[in-house]
């Protein structure tokens, strides 16, 4: 059962920062989950919200700010917003990266960065798993690449996610953990698709979800898995 750190190790460090990803690596995760948007000048920025307001000392839409302007902001007074390229450098193949596309526009850029790492830097497709609630974005990734692993995110409709996952040849479905039971997990797995629920934080919930034999768990506290 894979141990996947949500936004790094969000339970211990500021989400989606290099220190959070390092903390997750220290916890010996199998993978880290992170979120991406584009800056106004087309850099892939690792941040959850469409604005910088909640997580930094700035205000405004991520896609209205340049990478340089985003880098000038501070998270908890000391940390910087990171680009996806910087996270790749930090992780350095030590775990896989579940990259959640927060907007359709990120799809082409993320595929390009992955292809660069596979063809020029000796990375493997197994180091990457792209997920999204925006299924059009997933379809765009599949249009661009037969090789990149996809995860279908859903908060509401497991059956629809299952049908779509088969259609786009996804590796996995990433459901809110409340949607799961032992039977529906098995039904999905029998079709060769893996199940990675989120965001499972409480020890009792982790124990219950483990009992469903899911393939991995996405948690703010990966050390609890
Ligand atoms: O990828 C699972 C989970 O991160 C999806 O929800 O809002 O935390 O990005 P959210
Ligand atoms: Ca996410």
Query: Would you state the pLDDT for residue 110?
Result: 99
Query: Would you state the pLDDT for residue 28?
Result: 98
Domains (range + CATH), the chain: 2-50+84-224 (3.20.20.190)
ipTM of the prediction greater than 0.90, yes or no: yes
Query: Would you state the pLDDT for residue 48?
Result: 99
Query: Would you state the pLDDT for residue 176?
Result: 98
User: Does residue 178 have an active-site annotation?
Assistant: no
Nearest ligand 1 atom to the CA of 35 is 9
CB of 193 closer than 6 angstroms to any ligand 1 atom: no
0.90 exceeded by the pTM? yes
**Residue 54 CA: which ligand is closest?**
1
Query: Would you state the pLDDT for residue 167?
Result: 98
Query: Would you state the pLDDT for residue 220?
Result: 98
Q: How far is the CA of 118 from the centre of ligand 1 (A)?
A: 26
Q: How far is the CA of 99 from the centre of ligand 1 (A)?
A: 10
In sequence order, what are the residues at sequence separation of 6 or more whose Cβ sits closer than 8 angstroms to the Cβ of residue 72?
none
List, for residues 29-82, the tens digit of each pLDDT value. 999 999 999 999 999 999 999 999 999 999 999 999 999 999 999 999 999 999
For 177-217, the DSSP string reads: GGG--HHHHHHHHTTT-EE--B---SHHHHHHHHTTT-SEE
CB of 55 closer than 6 angstroms to any ligand 1 atom: no
**Residue 46 CA: which ligand is closest?**
2
**From CA 69, how far away is CA 92, in angstroms rounded?**
26
């Amino acid at each position: 059962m894979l141990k996947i750190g949500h936004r790094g190790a969000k339970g211990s460090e500021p989400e989606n920062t290099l220190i959070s990803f390092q903390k997750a690596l220290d916890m010996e995760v199998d993978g880290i989950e992170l979120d991406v948007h584009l800056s106004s000048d087309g850099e892939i920025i690792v941040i959850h919200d469409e604005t910088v307001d909640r997580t930094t000392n700035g205000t405004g839409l991520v896609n209205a700010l340049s990478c340089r302007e985003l880098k000038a902001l501070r998270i908890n007074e000391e940390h910087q917003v990171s680009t996806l390229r910087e996270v790749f450098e930090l992780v350095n193949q030590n775990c896989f990266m579940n990259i959640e596309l927060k907007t359709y526009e990120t799809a082409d850029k993320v595929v390009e960065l992955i292809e660069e790492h596979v063809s020029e830097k000796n990375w493997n497709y197994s180091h990457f798993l792209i997920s999204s609630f925006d299924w059009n974005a997933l379809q765009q990734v599949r249009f661009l690449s037969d090789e990149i692993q996809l995860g279908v995110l859903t908060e509401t409709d497991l059956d629809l996610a299952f049908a779509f996952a088969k259609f786009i040849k996804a590796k996995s479905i990433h459901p809110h953990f409340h949607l799961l039971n032992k039977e529906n997990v098995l039904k999905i797995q029998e079709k060769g698709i893996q199940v990675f629920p989120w965001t499972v934080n409480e020890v009792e919930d982790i124990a219950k979800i483990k009992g469903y034999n899911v393939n991995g768990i996405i948690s703010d506290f990966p050390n609890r898995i």
